[in-house]
Each structure stands twice: as structure tokens, then as C-alpha cells.
A and B are shown apart, each in its own frame.
Chain A
Amino acid sequence: MTSSTRGSRLSDKDFGMNESQTILELKNLTTVFPTRRGLVRAVSNISLKLHEGEILGIVGESGSGKSVTLLSILRLISSPGRIESGEVLFDGRDLCKLPEREVRRIRGKDIAMVFQDPQSTLNPAFPVGEQIRESLRIHNIISNGRSWWPLNPSRTAAEKARVIKLMSEVGISSPMDRFHEYPHQFSGGMQQRALIAIALAGEPKVLLADEPTTSLDVTIQAQILDLMRHINQERGTAIVLVTHNLDLAAEFCQRIVVMYAGRLVEIGTVDQVTESPQHPYTRGLLSCIPRISAQRSRIEPIPGNVPDLADVPAGCAFHPRCSEAQTACQEGPIPFFGVGARHWARCLRHANFLREPDWTWSSSERMRV
């Protein structure tokens, strides 16, 4: 699918480091939306750690709370939804408790985001180059002379030079001319590249990507993923990729967490999750992927539907659809069980080995991925 393989990600600097630094941590994060039918827990009690320079995939069906998790990180849940409890630790600070001004300073600068539909994410009223320039200006990336004065020629020129550099970096050809073009004059792939350029303008440490390739065709998808991997390697930007496509996550990520009904159900490295999935839901997702080489002619869908988030089944949320469900699955919160080194699943079939995920993640392990 992509030109670079997983093994080629090694570089000299990976050797000799033993512990990767945690850059973003979610602690028991719960986001709720009050509705007429009751309180919807779109994200319930999620704990995650993102390490520096890591690519983490969040996989799940639509409505499993992936996007809400991303929005909660940036505290962009719009009213009446709210973050009920938990912490989002970035740089040692809890984003949930910071004043709005401080969070705004972090958005787009330290943590940037790329959206699903580039067509509607770019503002149709402005040339693309101006929109990239704006993201430089918001965070005062180029402070040259009077920062607030927009008609400062040397500053404007410096900004423009940076924008052109960004545009060529994300692979927009002839950026000098495309600077002045409007979003509707860009193709979908180019629009997504422009959005990535906007996200990169603040030189973020974390890039949140909310299904960045869903609206693109497969060839462009591969190009965009290549670009994001390139950014990850060159700049060391940690990436969180949200997708419903487990195959794509397997191709792109180093570590995968699987979400179901607003909860994490499985955590592990790519190989662990895709080659020996331990939660029945993950297995179901894998068997939904059509394969060219497969013997069977039909893909097997998971029976049943995603539960109504206002009325999630007690115990394991997946038990009504699970072929291996026991009576014990219907009660009590199910903890994580260790099913392998750095591999956890929230499934009672593994109840012999109770272990909370500790998330330590050494760079030697990262190399193995």
C-alpha cells in the first residue's frame, strides 16, 4: 500500500534510548452528552498514553467515541456536551482545568488536528495560502517587528516564505502560484495536504488526525499516509490516527487501541492486535476486512448493532453481540487483562491474568514494531 515498510522506520537515534517520554496522557476521561433519552457517555473512562514520536491508532466503528476522544483532548466538546471527569495531561498540565485562553494557546500550536473532510474544513472565502498564513499569525510563529501589524512588509514576506516552504513540504506543487488559489480550485488530496500544512504551521508536538483519508480515493490515501509518516519521522511529531479502518491503522500505526461503545477494549502493538487479537470485537473487525487472498468469498459481519450509547449493556458492552459471551460478561465493569507483553484486552476469557495496562514503552520495543 505504501512505499515505505514498517521496518524502515529505524534510525540511529532510536538506539541507546531506553524510555520514551510521555507527551500526552488521558486519565479516566469521561465525556457525556445530555440528551432527551438520558445521559450519553460518548467516551467513558478512557486512559491512554501517547509517547513522543509515536503513531497511535484509535480504531472503532462509527459512534464508538473515537472522534469525541480527540475533541475532548482539545476541549472542543460543544455545549451541552461536557467532559464529566478525568484529566488530559499535556506537558504536565491538565488541559481540562486550564483557563480557555491557555487552551487556545495550545490548540493549533502544540496540538494540531486534521479533519475528515478537507473540502468543508477549508474556509471557502479565502485563498489557501492565506489560510496557512493565518495559522502562522494566530500563534505569532514569525515574530518579526510589530507582531500585531498585519501590513508589516518584511513580516508578511517572511510569513509568505514560510507558507511556501510548508506547502512544498507537504507536496503541493508550484506553491508560489497555488498560494493564491481558492479551496475549490484544489483537488481533494491537495486540500488535505493544505490542511496538513495548516496543522504543521505551529510546529505541533502532537498531530491528531480524525479519519484524514476517509474522503479520499485509495491512491491519494496512500500518498497522504506517506506524507504523515514522513512528518512523523522528520519532525518527530507524535500522531494519533482515528479511523474505522483497521487495515489502514495496521499499515500506518505502531500501536493500536480498539474502542467500542466509548470504551477501550484492546490495547497492543500493531502485530499483537492484528495477528493475535484477544478481544472478540477486534477479531470481528478483522474478519470484516475483505482480502484478495482469502479463501472464503464472503466477509463475515459482526451480528447485531452498535449499542445505543444512552443505554449501554451492563458488564462488557459487547456481550449481546459476542459469540463467546458467558453469563459473567453481563455484570460488573470488566477490567483489562494482560494477554501478552504490552497487550491488554478487556475480555473475561482472559480473566486468569488480571493486570492494569502500565503503558511503559521503551524505544527498543518501538523498534521491534
Chain B
Amino acid sequence: MAVHATIQKVSWMYTWRIRLRLWRRNLADFWYELEQRPVTLLGGLIVLAYVIAAIFAPQITGRDPTRGKLLLRFEPPAWEAGGSWEYPLGTDDQGRDLLTRIIFGARVSLAVGLLSVSASVIIGTALGALAGYYRGWLDNVLSRFADLLLAFPFLIFAIGMMAFLGPGFANLVLALAFKGWVEFYRLVRGEMLAERTKEYVDAARVAGLGNIAIIVSEILPNIIQSVFVLGTLRLGYMIIMEASLSFLGLGIPPSIPAWGSMVSSGRNYLLMAWWVSTFPGFAILLLVMAINLFGEGLRDILDPRLKIE
């Protein structure tokens, strides 16, 4: 009995050792692919820097992003005439440090982007999988609704939603996810239609699996990579949407520093203090570009079928 237990324990350890080795090998493969693509790597590093900045924002700057000194309005960036390293990127119309506000703004942008994309992925994948697998009336209803949503331009739709819901963090995520899921729905539904006719699905049914088990544990693992890649690419788009809505005053309330509203507030002083609008805009540009570079590289690594030569 004791021997038996020992053998089982050893076998379990053996399993985990091989599993860890495999994971490490996969990670090594991924790293190797990444090293072949310096641009992707650069994009990834920039995104990583943004994420770290967002998480450790208070520790990095040590300043309050919402409080300024009105005596120090429109301080220019350090390298301009009259600037000082006290405020490396200058100050805005209320004398608040621009760098601090940009770093804190990363929190909002990343949070809204990640949350709305996650919500879109979950809703879109679930509905797309059901529609693509079962087809029939469910597919018809969902697909027509998706077509309806696709007929609206994203920004117009989001403006309408926000005007209806009112500004606010949760409302913004809701509005973005309400339309964002359609992309994932269409992707997953299409992949599902292709996968459900494959023989391994028949084999799973022959083995006695039920429909839901087949969807979740057999088919989804095969298409989740495409979803992941699309999610990365949509993240940048969602961040732009958040910034656009904040720019229009429909997104994040002005009490929270957000890049869109910062660009908007600096717009009035563009001729006398160009930096107030320019630096938040540049922050958006850099982040979205880095996300897209990283996402496209990720697509090439994870989903070779979609590769554009």
C-alpha cells in the first residue's frame, strides 16, 4: 500500500516536471520568435513601461495630479526658454505638472481599454461560440443584431450611449463594450463554423461529450489564440475611443486626469502653450502605436495563418 502511494506520488511529480519543462520550452520558443522581431519587442517594452507607470504612478511622480499652483501656470517644458527640471514637461492652465497628469492618465486609458476589451471578449466569445455551434434561430437573431450594431459608426454610437448614460468610468466601459463585442462575435462565430465540421468534434461526440463540453473544452482552445490576437489589436482602438470621448467631455469626468480631456483643455491655449495639448496627444500616439506593433507581432507568432506577407 505504501509502495503504491509512493509510486503514485512519484508519477504525479514526474507529470508536473514534464509539464513545467514543456511550459518552459513553449516560453523559450515564444521568446525566440520575439527576438526575431525587434519591432515587436520594442512595442512590447513600451507597453510594459506604460503598464508599470500606471501601476506605480504615485511612487514615480510624488505629486498630486489634481492640484496645481496657479502662480505657476503654463510653465514651459524644461528644454524651452524659461523652463525648469522641476516640471520636465511644463504645467497646464491650472499650474498642474503635466508629466504627473500624463502618468496618472495612463491608469485611466489602460483600465478602460483592458476592461472594455475583456468585457467584449467574454460577451463576444460566448455568443459567437453559441451562434456558430448551434446555428439556427439563435445565430439568426444574434447575427442580425450584430449587423445592426455594425451599421453605426463606433464613435457616433458611443457618443449616443454616453449622452444617454452620462459620463463616468463604468458607463464608459459599458458603452465601449456594448459595441465592441461585435468584432469578437463575428470572429468566433466564423471560426466556430469552420471548426465544428472538423473530425475531432465528431470524435468528441463519439466519445460521449455533450455540446457545451465540446464547445468549451474541445473547440474553444483551438480558436482562443485568434481571439487573443484580435483583443490585443482592439485594445489600441478602445484607448483611442476613450480618449475621443474624454476629448468631447463625454467620457471620464474632469476630476480624473485622462489624456483625452487634457488634450481638450489645452486646445484653447494652443498658440501660447503648445505643450499642454501636445504631450498627452503624444502619450496616446505612442501607447496605441506600441500596442499595435506588439499586437501584429503577436499575431504573426501565434496565428501564422493570418500573416500578411
Contacts and interface: CB of A to CB of B under 8 A. Distances in A.
Interface stretch (A107-115, A237-245, A248-256, A285-293): A107-115
Contacts of B203: 113, 115, 121-123, 195, 198
B202 A76 contact: yes
Given A76-B202, A120-B199, A161-B11, A104 B208 contact: yes
B205 interface: yes
Contacts of B210: 104
A120 B8 contact: no
Interface stretch (B12-20, B58-66, B106-114, B244-252): B12-20
Interface in B159-213: 198-200, 202-210
B125 to A, nearest CB: 15
Main secondary structure of the interface of B (DSSP, over half): helix
Contact of B12 (A117, A121, A153): A153
A113 B207 CA distance: 8
A115 B199 contact: yes
Contacts of A106: 208
Contact of B208 (A108, A122, A154, A161): A108
A107 B218 contact: no
B204 A123 contact: yes
Nearest to A161: B11
A27 interface: no
| Interface band, chain B | 20 to 34
Contact of B218 (A109, A123, A177, A195): A123
A233 interface: no
Interface in A80-113: 104-109, 112-113
A125 B214 CA distance: 13
Given A104-B210, A107-B208, A180-B22, A157 B11 contact: yes
A158 interface: yes
A87 to B, nearest CB: 20
Given A108-B208, A156-B15, A122 B22 contact: no
Nearest to B225: A125
Contacts of A156: 12, 15
A348 interface: no
A117 B199 contact: yes
A177 B202 CA distance: 27
A184 interface: no
A125 B217 CA distance: 10
A126 B22 CA distance: 12
A154 B12 CA distance: 8
A160 B11 contact: yes
Contacts of B307: none
Contact of A123 (B18, B208, B222): B222
Given A120-B198, A153-B12, A180-B19, A126 B207 contact: no
B221 interface: yes
Interface residues of A, number: 38
Interface in A295-351: none
B9 interface: yes
A125 B221 contact: yes
Given A153-B12, A160-B15, A161-B11, A113 B206 contact: yes
Nearest to A181: B22
Nearest to B217: A134
Contacts of A115: 199, 202-203, 206
A105 B206 contact: no
A139 B210 CA distance: 12
A158 B14 CA distance: 13
Given A107-B207, A108-B207, A124 B199 contact: no
Given A108-B207, A158-B8, A179-B18, 14 more contacts: A105-B208, A106-B208, A107-B206, A108-B208, A109-B208, A112-B207, A120-B199, A121-B202, A121-B203, A125-B222, A134-B217, A153-B8, A156-B12, A180-B19
Interface of B: 5, 7-9, 11-12, 14-15, 18-19, 22, 198-200, 202-210, 217-218, 221-222
6 contacts: A117-B199, A121-B202, A135-B207, A157-B11, A177-B18, A180-B19
Task: Give the 8 A-B CB pairs with smallest separation, nearest first.
Answer: A108-B207, A108-B208, A157-B8, A125-B221, A107-B208, A120-B199, A113-B206, A123-B200
